Amino acid sequence: MFRMPSSRVLGALFCALFLLAPTACDDPTSVGGELVEREGAGPQRVELPLDVDTVQYAPITGSARIGESARFLAGQTSGDPLGDVTATGYVDFAPSLSEIDPADRAIDSVQFRVRLARDTFYGDTTQTTPLALYDLKEEWEAAGARADTSLPNTVEPQRITTFSVAPGDSLVTASLPSDWIRRNDEQLRQIADSTFAEAFHGFQVRPVDGGESVAGFLSRATTLRVVFETGGDEEALEASAPLTRQLTTIRQPDPQQPKDRYVIQKGTGRALAFRFDLPDSLRSAAVNSATLVLETDSVLAETGSDYARPRFSQLDVYDVTDDSLALLSGNRPQAPAALALSNDRTRFDVANFSLSRFVQDALLGTSDIERFQLRPGPLTRVLRVPRGSEGVNITSLGSALIRRADGHRPRLVLFYTSTE
Amino acid sequence: MSRTTALGILGVLLGLSLGASQSAQAQTRGAGSIYSRFGLGELHTFSSSQAQAMGGGGARALRSLNYTTFANPALWSDQELTRLNIGGRYRRVNAQDASGQTSRLSSGRLQSVQFSFPLYAGKLGVGVGFRPYSRTEYRVLAQPQTVPGDSALYQIDYRGEGGLRQISGGLGYRFGDVLSLGVRGDVIFGILESQRRTTFSNRARFAPTVLSTRTRLAGFTGTAGGLLSLSDVFRSEDALSIGATFTLPARLSGERARTIGATLDRDTLALGSGAPATGDEENRAEEGGLTIPLSAALGLSYKPSDRWTLIADGLYEPWSNADSDFESAPLPGIDALRDRLRFSVGAELLPAGNNRNATFFSRTAYRLGAYYEQTYVDAQTVFDDAPEGTGINALAATGGVSLPTPLYGTRIDVGVEVGTRGTTDADLIRDVFYGLSLNVNLGERWFQRRKLR
């Protein structure tokens, strides 16, 4: 005899059926596509030239913390197609970490020792870089100081000595003259004492006329070495004072723009600014992909193969509004936005930030970014400055030449989907 | 059951209805016919689970003590029991084009919640219900193609979601033995949403796009219904009923907005080509509305005995008069709809008749029906330049069983539907659809004082 199943069982059975049924065996295809598809519904590609301006800023080149990557520059160029540069280094020393007691020993010699940073040598490599040392007579500020800093009354007019650096050099030693040693005898004897830092204010490393290159030095390896005379059978006694602060001031009074090139350069603070020049026809487009393309060129006809011109591989991206300038955020926290060189090193087009998002905001009119600025990178650290956040680079004159001839101009490659 | 309890259930019913209406996707999963893209979507005619299995029409003259038919408010005067109906529906659509390519889509959803009760049994009844008015539920997955100027592939997924719903409420009153009249108010509201999702094979380089166009609409209309009930017409103890309804045209007002973005945090776009993007808040959504036409229907019901019920219904809606003033981004095909016609017939066999002591199978009701619908979509609705004469019509058979339960007045209804819609001519699509529905009809005497014996 048939027995009526309970309504609960029936209910559960059908509920399960209803829940599972929609997920079973659905196979959507293009059937019906003619009824919904329009011409141009798929993504489209367009290349839009960027509205580029050249800008110049004063990079942060001073530091009171000497890290591994710290550099200071000194030297000058003449006939540089990018514009002649004069770089002047300022260095000050911390007390020696060696505990010494020179007692009544006389000072035998004092040396200013520097180690060349080969990746920063800039200019004519066939000639040496003549440099001169000058005393600094008063305390000076290095932390956060910029390349356009002036220290007019800080430098003693009397030159201490000169020395030269060749591109192939490693360690370079400038022996200080005996009269300078005699004048500073009291301070040098206290080289391991904290009073040394208060009494001695360091050197200016200035280019000597006639130089054709700028040398960069490893700050961590720069020392002031004092050697005391040996007395009798006593062992030699010496102490080295490391750098405690540094600054490089850089002047480029007449920057040049080679034909069909934009110049981006560290040290001199030459950068590019741009805004998206977006046509009204794209105002309601949905952005699928956006890529900035800046073609680079290492060749300059005005300089031969003996002219060293360090390049860099990354541009840092800033957003600029009316009253602020700040590093743009990258995709990852703590990693500001940057545009890196492609693998074949022919163009900057590898972004680590969501450019699509910014372009979309610009298209929608919801962005408050006035324009973007591209500065040389990479960063060694980020400083908070009154107008926003700013990056600090390794001090150098590294440069990039950005092509601007027709067909090679900086551009935005956009893949978008029309929303009409 | 107390009056307080009844009001509580009524509150839950309305809350459920309103809550479900907050999201276009709250009640639905899956997809269905491509023709639901046009106009307001695929129009629904659910009035009761009994009528659904007997041709799916309105059943405007179908008198029953076990069901409250929402097609004709005059029928509410017949109520003896307080009723609650909750139903769900699953539908599968196999779409085919002229090349023979097919697409298989399915959807399931809550179909209706209806509550009704007699104020004076057999004389004056009240009905309140929530049911679909239209559904948009299509999906087309285009073939992958190469991104222009790149080696990546992209694929576009077209989807339609949402629909309009109606909350209805009204009264039916019987004047003597022959005439019943009823009125019903319907609030029609909901969101129609069409999406174009573009995805890419290279997800690292290309961001997907979801472009959505949402139309939020709401409006009010009213329906008047009449019912003539005749007995001993052709034979002794037979019953013939003639029902008619007239629904007023209605203005549905709302706004239409276009957004991009895959998350809730979408960007709203300006409407209209050449308009500024989003700078002007007023451009982000277009205020407007549309007019839906009147609806006139006539139904016949004949019961030669207490075992058989035969019905026939006809419906006319002049959608060619539908008018929309969403100009910047009009609803697809809204200005090229044609008049809607629907004819249905059905039969029910209840072997036990009024014998409550018969076996289970004898007390089970068996239903069959069929309908033909000239939908409001034709080739010109779909393609601007299509020649006249190719319409989208549906022909379907329905059936079902109504299972008795130990509770007097409570039945569980299972319905099925098989049909075809459209044609593969003129670049159109033919749907073959299968439907399955489950409804629970609870009936109990409420609000009636027990008499002392």
**d(C-alpha B332, C-alpha B197), whole Å:** 18
* pLDDT at A15 (0 to 100): 58
Is the Cβ–Cβ distance between A267 and A397 less than 8 Å?
A: yes
Q: Which chain A residue shows the shortest CA-CA distance from B359?
A: A2
| Residue in B344, B278, B291 with CA at minimum distance from that of residue B314 | B344
Sign of the alpha-carbon torsion through A91, A94, A98, A103: positive
Handedness of CA B398, B399, B405, B408 (dihedral sign): positive
C-alpha B107: how far from its chain's center?
Answer: 14
Q: Are B34 and A28 within 8 A, CB to CB?
A: no
pLDDT given at position B270: 56
- Mind listing the pLDDT tens digit of every residue in chain A (420 residues)? 334 445 555 555 655 555 555 555 778 888 888 888 777 788 999 999 998 999 999 999 999 989 888 999 999 998 899 999 999 999 999 999 888 887 778 899 999 999 999 788 999 999 999 999 999 999 999 999 999 999 988 999 999 999 999 988 999 999 999 999 999 999 898 888 888 888 899 999 999 998 999 999 999 999 999 998 876 666 778 899 999 999 999 999 999 989 899 999 999 999 999 988 788 888 878 899 999 999 998 776 667 788 999 999 999 999 988 788 899 888 887 788 999 999 998 999 999 988 888 888 888 888 878 889 999 988 888 888 777 888 888 999 999 999 999 999 999 999 999 877
Picking from A19, A25, A36 by the largest number of B CB atoms within 10 A of its own CB, the best residue to mutate is A36
Please report the pLDDT score of residue B30 as a whole number: 65
A408 phi and psi angles, rounded to 5 deg? -125, 10
What does DSSP say about strands B285-292 and B323-324: parallel, antiparallel, or unpaired?
A: antiparallel
- What pTM was estimated for this model as a whole? 0.79
Tokens representing residue B97 in the block = 């084009």
CB-based contact A333:A397 (threshold 8 Å): no
* Strand ranges inside B318-390, DSSP E: 323-324, 340-349, 365-378
Q: Over the stretch A303-327, which tens digit does the pLDDT of each residue have? A: 778 899 999 999 999 998 878 889 9
Query: What ipTM does the predicted assembly reach?
Result: 0.77
Mind spelling out the 3-state secondary structure of A137-160? CCCCCCCCCECCCCCCCCEEEEEE
Name the band, by pLDDT with cuts 50, 70 and 90, for residue B111.
confident
A37 touches chain B (CB under 8 A): yes
- Position B3 confidence tier, pLDDT thresholds 50, 70, 90: very low
Instruction: Report the run of H or E that residue B414 belongs to, with start and end.
Output: strand B411-422
A178-192 as b/e, with b when 16 or more CB fall inside 10 Å?
A: eebbeebeebbbbbb
CB-CB under 8 Å, B436 with A43: no
Q: Specify the DSSP class assigned to residue B138.
A: B
Do residues B98 and B82 lie in contact, with contact meaning Cβ atoms separated by under 8 Å? no
B21 to chain A, closest Cα gap in Å: 19
Beta-bridge partners for A56 = A270
A195 closest CA partner among A184, A187, A204, A185: A187
Average pLDDT in chain B: 86
How many residues in total does chain A contain?
A: 420
Phi-psi region of A345 (alpha: psi -120 to 50; beta: other; left: phi over 0): left
- Asked if residue A217 lies in contact with residue A116, where contact means CB atoms within 8 angstroms, the answer is yes
Q: How far apart are CA A310 and CA A298, in angstroms?
A: 10
Distance of CA A321 to the CA centre of its chain: 21
Q: Which chain B residue's Cα is nearest to A363?
A: B277
Which pLDDT value is given to residue A8? 57
Q: Which residues of A touch B94 (CB under 8 A)?
A: none
Sign of CA dihedral A22, A25, A31, A36: positive
Contact status, residue A92 vs residue A136, Cβ threshold 8 Å? yes
Q: Nearest CA to B162 among B182, B183, B142, B132?
A: B132
Nearest partner of B168 among B110, B115, B118, judged by Cα:
B115
Q: What is the model's pLDDT at position B27?
A: 42
Helix H or strand E encompassing A371: strand A371-376
**Residue ranges per structural domain of chain B:** 3-444
For B25-35, how does the pLDDT look when each residue is reduced to its tens digit (9 = 90+)?
444 456 889 99
In whole angstroms, what separates CA B159 from the centre of its chain? 19
Residues of chain B contacting residue A26, judged by C-beta atoms under 8 Å apart: 30-31, 104-106
Distance from CA of A403 to the nearest CA of B (A): 22
Which two three-digit tokens encode residue B134? Answer: 């239209």
Residue pLDDT, tens place only, B296-352:
999 999 999 999 999 999 999 999 988 898 887 788 888 889 999 999 999 999 999
With beta carbons under 8 A apart, name residues in chain A contacting B98. none
What does the pLDDT read at residue B273? Answer: 43
pLDDT at residue B436 in the model: 94
The residue type of B251 is: R
Amino acid at B154: Y
Q: Quote the minimal CA–CA distance from B432 to chain A in Å.
A: 13
Q: Residue B258 — φ and ψ, nearest 5°? A: -120, 130
Answer yes or no: are the C-beta atoms of A226 and A110 closer than 8 Å.
yes
* pLDDT of B87 higher than 90: yes
Per residue in B119-149, pLDDT (tens digit) is: 998 899 999 999 999 999 999 999 999 999 9
- The residue whose two tokens read 């509770």 is B407
Distances from the Cα of B23 to the Cα of A282, B11, B164, B190, B216, angstroms: 31, 20, 11, 9, 11
What pLDDT does residue A418 have? 85
Residue A101 has, within 13 A of its CA and on its CB side, a CA count of 2
Distance CA A403, CA B422 (A): 59
Q: A320 CB contacts (<8 Å, ≥6 apart)?
A: A273, A369, A370, A371, A372, A373
For residue A51, the distance in angstroms to the closest alpha carbon of chain B comes to: 21
Torsion angle of the four alpha carbons B260, B264, B267, B268, in this order, in degrees rounded to the nearest 10: 90
Contact A32 B103 (CB under 8 A): yes
Q: Which residue has the tokens 């690292």?
A: B204
Q: Average of pLDDT values for B42-60?
A: 89
- B261 confidence band (pLDDT: 50, 70, 90): confident
Chain A segment 340-369 residues within 8 A of B by beta carbon are: 356, 360, 363-366
The predicted-structure confidence for A11-61, as pLDDT tens digits, reads as follows 556 555 555 555 557 788 888 888 887 777 889 999 999 989 999 999 999
Looking at chain A from residue 224 to 283, which residues have their Cβ under 8 Å from any Cβ of chain B? 280-281, 283
Q: Is B148 within 8 Å of A43 when comparing Cβ atoms?
A: yes
Residue B102 bridge partners (DSSP)? B96
In this prediction, residue B28 carries a pLDDT of 46
Phi, then psi, of A260 in degrees rounded to 5: 60, 25
In this structure, what is the dihedral angle of CA atoms A389, A393, A396, A401, given to the nearest 10 degrees?
A: -80
Residues 6+ apart with CB under 8 A from B34: A31, A32, A35, A36, B95, B138, B140, B429, B431
Of the options 1.10.340.30, 2.160.20.10, 1.10.443.10, 2.40.160.60, the CATH number for the domain spanning B3-444: 2.40.160.60
List the Cα angle A365/A366/A371 in 5-degree steps.
75
Stretch B188-196: mean pLDDT: 94
pLDDT tens per residue, range B346-367: 999 999 988 888 999 999 999 9
A332 within 8 A of A144, measured Cβ to Cβ: no
Instruction: Work out the percent of chain B whose per-residue pLDDT is above 70.
Output: 87
Q: State the sign of the Cα–Cα–Cα–Cα dihedral B254, B255, B256, B259.
A: negative
What pLDDT does B452 receive?
54
* Contact of A319 with A330, CB cutoff 8 Å: no
Contact B147 A41 (CB under 8 A): no
Q: Is A1 on the interface with B (CB under 8 A)?
A: no
Distance of CA B16 to the CA centre of its chain: 17
Question: Of A291, A417, A418, which to mutate for an interface test with B (greatest number of B Cβ within 10 Å)?
Answer: A417
* C-alpha span between A264 and B135 (Å, rounded): 59
Contact residues on chain A for B147, CB-CB shorter than 8 A: 42-43, 45, 415
Residues contacting A419, CB < 8 A, separation 6+? A284, A285, A286, B211, B258, B260, B269
CA distance A24 to chain B (A): 8
With CA atoms as reference, report the closest residue to B244 among B298, B181, B180: B298
Task: Identify whether the C-beta of residue B63 lies closer than 8 Å to the C-beta of residue B301.
Answer: yes
Pair A227, A83: CB distance under 8 Å: no
Query: How much is the pLDDT for B268?
Result: 64
Q: What is the mean pLDDT of residues B222-250?
A: 94
Handedness of CA A343, A347, A348, A352 (dihedral sign): negative
